[in-house]
Structure 1
C-alpha cells in the first residue's frame, strides 16, 4: 500500500476530531528582549533550566497536537514518554479509537511506527519513516529538546530570542522556527515549561498544546 493511501486514512480518522488543520502557526509574537543586560539575565535563567532538565532525563507529557503539511493534516491527542534518548510517542483519535505509536531514539535517529495497515514499519530515520508512511513532516528527533524549551542536540542554533519575561520566545534550528507562545509556571523545584509550541518549516507546521507535564520517575 502506498504512503499516500496511509496518509489519507490517517487524516480521515483525525478529521473526526474537528477537521483537517489548514493553518500553520498563527499570531504575532510580542517584541523580544533587546537590552543586553536583560538578555544576559535571561541566558543565565535558561542555563539554570537546562541544568535541572539534564538532571531529570525521565519525563512525559500529555496534550493535543495539530499537524499540517501543505494544507493537509489533522488534530489529535498526544502522549510522549522520554527516558534519556529513548522515546515513545502515541497519537490517538478518540472518536475512531484509532491510535499510532512511534518508538525511537534521538541518538540513533531510528524509529518503529505501529498502527498502520499492513503492520509495523521500521526506519533508520524516524522523521523519514513518518513522512513516507503518513505524509506528516514532524521533527521528532528534535522535538524532545524543543518541547522543553531547549535547543536540539546536533543542530546549530540559527537564532534564539527571549520574551520580556525572560523565557525562550523563538528558536531557529534545522530550518525550523519554533515559537513559544505560552508557558506553565514553575512548581516546587521544577522550572517553567512550555505549554504551547508552534513549529514551522516551509509548508509543514506542528502546533502542540501541553496539558500535563510529569517528571516523576516511573
Structure 2
C-alpha cells in the first residue's frame, strides 16, 4: 500500500463508526418577492457584520466526512481567530485523534500515520494526508451561516426559506445547506447578558463527491480563559 493509501486508511479507521451525525430532511428553499429578498439579504449582511467583528469563534459537535468512496465520523472542536484555526477531530471509541492548525499561509496536521505533515495549502495537505477534501479556509464562515471571503473563494449565491431564514450558500463550487438554527450565547467566560446570536446547528456541504456534514452542539465567542 502506498503512503497515501496508508494515511487514508488510518484516517478512515480513526473516524469510522464513532458518532452519529443526523442527515436531516433537506433544505426548504422559498420563493420570495423582490422586497422580501432584499430584506433577507440586508438581514444576512447585518449578521455577517456582527460575525466578522468577533475576535474569536468556536464550535464543538459532530462531523461526517466522505469523498464518495471513503469517510467516517467523529467529534470536532473548531477554534477560529481571524484566519487562524485550530481543529481537532477525535474518535471517542478508539481514542484516536488528529489535529489541524494553521492560517492562510500554512497548515500542519498531527496524529496521522507517518508523523506530522505541513504544507502551504491546507486543502492539498488534507487531500494528500487523508484522502478527504475539506474547505478549511471557508468552513468556519459557512458553519456560522456567513459567506466566506470573496477574495479567496469568489462570489456567493444566497437562498432563503419562505420566512427569510438563510437556507443555502453556494460558493467556490460548494453547496452549503442549513438544516437547523439555534439561539447561541457567548458561553463560559462571556459577560453576563452577553450578546446572543442565531447560529446554525446542522449543516450539509457538498462539492462533487466531497461531503461535510456538521451537527453543532455548542457555539462560543467568549475569550479563552487564561
TM-score (norm 1): 0.90
Q: Distance in 1 between matches of 2:143 and 2:18?
A: 23
1:193 pairs with one of 183, 191, 199: 199
Match of 1:13 in 2: 14
In the alignment, the residues of structure 1 paired with residue 45 and residue 156 of structure 2 have an alpha-carbon distance, to the nearest angstrom, of: 18
For residues 38-117 of structure 1, the aligned pairs below 5 Å read: 38-105=36-103, 107-108=104-105, 110-117=106-113
Deviation at 1:71, TM superposition (A): 3.1
Counterpart contact for 1:33–1:161, Cα < 8 Å: no
Report if aligned partners of 2:118, 2:125 keep a CA contact under 8 Å in 1: yes
State the Cα distance separating 1:49 from its structure 2 match: 0.8
Which of 203, 213, 217 aligns to 2:209? It is: 203
Aligned: 1:130 with 2:144: no
Answer whether contact 1:17 1:93 (CA < 8 A) is retained: yes
Q: Cα RMSD over matched residues?
A: 2.0
Is the contact between residue 146 and residue 178 of structure 1 (CA under 8 Å) also seen in structure 2? yes
* Alpha-carbon distance between aligned partners in 2 of 1:123 and 1:41, rounded to the nearest angstrom: 42
**SS at 1:64 equivalent:** strand
Alpha-carbon distance in 1 for matches of 2:217, 2:75:
10
Unaligned runs of 5+ in 2: 186-193
The answer to which of 172-181 and 43-52 deviates more is: 43-52
Aligned residues of 2:183 and 2:198 also touching (Cα < 8 A): yes
Structure 2 CA distance, aligned partners of 1:86 and 1:31?
Answer: 33
Q: Distance in 2 between matches of 1:18 and 1:79?
A: 14
Q: 1:18 to 1:81 in 2, by over 3 A?
A: closer
CA–CA separation in structure 2 for the residues paired with 1:51 and 1:10:
36
* Distance (Å, rounded) in 1 between the aligned partners of 2:114 and 2:6: 12
